Amino acid sequence: MWENETLLKYTPRYVVDTRSRHRTMVPEEEYKNGHILTSETVTALAKEGVKVNLGAHGQLQGLGAHWELWMLQQGGLSNHEALKAATINGAEYIGAAAEIGSLEKGKLADLIIMDKNPLEDIKNSNSVIYTMVNGRLYDINTMNEIGNYDKKRTKFYFELDGYNQGVPVNMNTNSFLTPRCSCHE
């Protein structure tokens, strides 16, 4: 995530740094007993007929949804099954499948457009190039509204003249992470 260009374009560096942890190397069995065991259990439940829904918590401006989608696939769900967990299954669960969750005439138009196929590789879910909210289309590279309207976005608060993050070290490094070797502490 520290190198995700889209995230860093629309989220200040200090937010990314303070809301994420740098991964430490742990033994492989800790991954197996963590999210992989969870995703394998979800797959076993799905094979027994339990309907699986994606349930990310909005970590880092939407990345959590991609991570959970990828986790579902790691546990054995097919790419198609994982994508259904992220779309129609949740809509059915909350009783809104007539309005959302799939592409059909008359449904609300909140969707993403990708330039790579997540059915081929689930991590292609992160190849979003356009997003549509309430029928209004936005270009991910600029977040300008396109399509029916041509409207440039306004500046984010962190793009305004005179904005700084309020901590002197941030003005030099643009980060809350102090650039130094930990061996000198």
Per residue in 59-91, pLDDT (tens digit) is 666 778 888 899 999 999 999 999 999 999 999
Q: Sign of torsion, CA 13 14 20 24?
A: positive
User: What's the chain's average pLDDT?
Assistant: 82
Please tell me the predicted confidence (pLDDT) of residue 58: 61
Tell me which range, 19-28, 29-38, 39-48, is most confidently predicted by mean pLDDT: 39-48
| HSE-CB of 135 using CA atoms within 13 angstroms | 5
The pTM of the full predicted model, rounded to 2 decimals, is: 0.75
Q: Does residue 110 have a pLDDT over 70?
A: yes
* pLDDT above 70 for 56: yes
